[in-house]
């Protein structure tokens, strides 16, 4: 009798609990869609943001579709209601807020300025170009036209110093293809252009990786720190869901990991971040002012 009881208990334990795991079940609700701005290349961005997407899916218990898009595609995505949340640079965030009423939730924390970043203007040591005034009649390489710290910050900085990029350069250009900021920096290093506009963060990272030596460059000018890449929610997203997403991001630590394709990955490490902080709308005023000064969207006038 005793043997039979023990045997039946073992059968119940083995088969009655079948299917239970430590992973939260994913609900049958309509999947959420998060749009991520492509950085460098599609594949690099997929590898970078995939773990965060999987982590959010795990925490929310809800399927999340990852949508990778270029900067110029986000207005269409938001207008056509094809995304619920976006991770974009601060210029795109401002455009989407002004034109479509998105809610700025959180800012990436990365580098020496935390949740803010700056744009620098550089020249090569020995070029004789040490000031903005020295740049007259020279050539310049800017980053992408919608880059806050590879184009806007530097363009506005020149205008603040009575330098008109449209007339005071002999020539300026924007690089094509991926890894645009690195192209700017190497373009100056190898003498293709006299001066370049690069995010200070990229200069710091390339220096730390020994890809460049900052002793080879003059930093002619640097902008004020302004908010870095931003996560925003679309209009109509339930306040409870927005708060839930925000809380998950604010509580995300360096130790948090997620299983992706059989591999355990640290979420923040893969995103190249130190964490997130809550977005404060007034902190974006510095970007708004510079967009207006540089006659850029969403404040462009003709």
Residue 158, domain CATH = 3.40.190.10
Question: What are the residues whose beta carbons fall under 8 Å from the beta carbon of 105, sequence distance 6 or more?
Answer: 85, 230, 231, 232, 233, 242, 245, 246, 249, 278, 279
Q: What is the pLDDT of residue 238?
A: 97
Q: What is the pLDDT of residue 26?
A: 57
Residue at 2 is within a domain:
no
Residue at 213 is within a domain:
yes
What mean pLDDT is predicted for residues 109-125?
Answer: 98
Q: Are residues 183 and 198 in the same domain?
A: yes
Residue at 24 is within a domain:
no
Rounded Cα gap, residues 74 and 86, in angstroms:
8
Q: Are residues 101 and 129 in the same domain?
A: no
Domain endpoint, select from 172, 189, 223: 223
Rounded Cα gap, residues 58 and 252, in angstroms:
13
Residue at 98 is within a domain:
yes
Domains identified in the chain, total number: 2
Which pLDDT band, with edges at 50, 70 and 90, does 23 fall under? very low
Distances, alpha carbon 68 to alpha carbons 50, 240, 279, in Å: 10, 25, 22
pLDDT over threshold 60, residue 16: no
What mean pLDDT is predicted for residues 84-103?
Answer: 98
| SS3 label, residue 269 | helix
Model pLDDT for residues 140-184, shown as the tens digit of each residue: 999 999 999 999 999 999 999 999 999 999 999 999 887 899 999
Residue at 187 is within a domain:
yes
Closest CA to 63 of 86, 32, 36: 32
Residue at 97 is within a domain:
yes
Q: Are residues 131 and 206 in the same domain?
A: yes
- In this prediction the pTM is 0.90
Model pLDDT for residues 170-220, shown as the tens digit of each residue: 999 999 887 899 999 999 999 999 999 999 999 999 999 999 999 999 999
Percent of the chain having pLDDT more than 90? Answer: 87
The residue segments making up the domain with residue 252 are: 29-110+227-293
Give the CA dihedral 24, 25, 30, 32, nearest 10 degrees: 20
Residue at 153 is within a domain:
yes
Domain endpoint, select from 202, 223, 244: 223
Which pLDDT band, with edges at 50, 70 and 90, does 4 fall under? very low
Q: Are residues 94 and 179 in the same domain?
A: no
Residue at 247 is within a domain:
yes
Q: Are residues 238 and 106 in the same domain?
A: yes
Q: Provide the b/e sequence for 46-76 (b: ≥16 CB within 10 Å).
A: eebbbbbbbbbbbbbebebebbbbebebbbe
């Amino acid at each position: 009798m005793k043997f039979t009881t023990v045997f039946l208990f073992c059968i119940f334990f083995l088969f009655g609990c079948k299917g239970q795991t430590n992973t939260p079940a994913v609900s049958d609700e309509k999947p959420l869609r998060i749009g991520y701005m492509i950085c460098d290349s599609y594949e690099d961005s997929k590898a970078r943001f995939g773990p965060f997407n999987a982590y959010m899916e795990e925490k929310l218990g809800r399927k999340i579709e990852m949508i990778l898009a270029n900067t110029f595609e986000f207005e269409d995505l938001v207008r056509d209601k094809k995304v619920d949340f976006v991770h974009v640079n601060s210029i795109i965030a401002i455009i989407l807020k002004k034109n479509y009423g998105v809610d700025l939730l959180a800012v990436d924390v990365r580098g020496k300025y935390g949740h803010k970043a700056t744009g620098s203007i550089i020249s090569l040591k020995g070029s004789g170009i040490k000031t903005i005034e020295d740049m007259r009649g020279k050539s310049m390489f800017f980053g992408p036209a919608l880059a806050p710290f590879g184009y806007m910050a530097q363009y506005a900085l020149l205008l603040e110093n009575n330098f008109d990029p449209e007339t005071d350069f002999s020539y300026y250009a924007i690089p094509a293809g991926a890894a645009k900021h690195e192209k700017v920096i190497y373009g100056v290093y190898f003498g293709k252009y006299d001066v370049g506009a690069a995010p200070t963060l990229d200069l710091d990272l390339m220096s730390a990786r020994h890809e460049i030596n900052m002793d080879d460059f003059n930093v002619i000018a640097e902008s004020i720190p302004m908010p870095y890449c931003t996560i925003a929610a679309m209009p109509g997203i339930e306040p409870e869901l927005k708060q839930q997403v925000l809380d998950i991001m604010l509580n995300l630590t360096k130790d948090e990991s997620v299983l992706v394709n059989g591999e355990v990955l640290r979420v923040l490490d893969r995103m190249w971040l130190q964490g997130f902080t809550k977005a404060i709308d007034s902190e974006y005023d510095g970007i708004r002012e510079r967009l207006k000064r540089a006659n850029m969207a969403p404040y462009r006038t003709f």
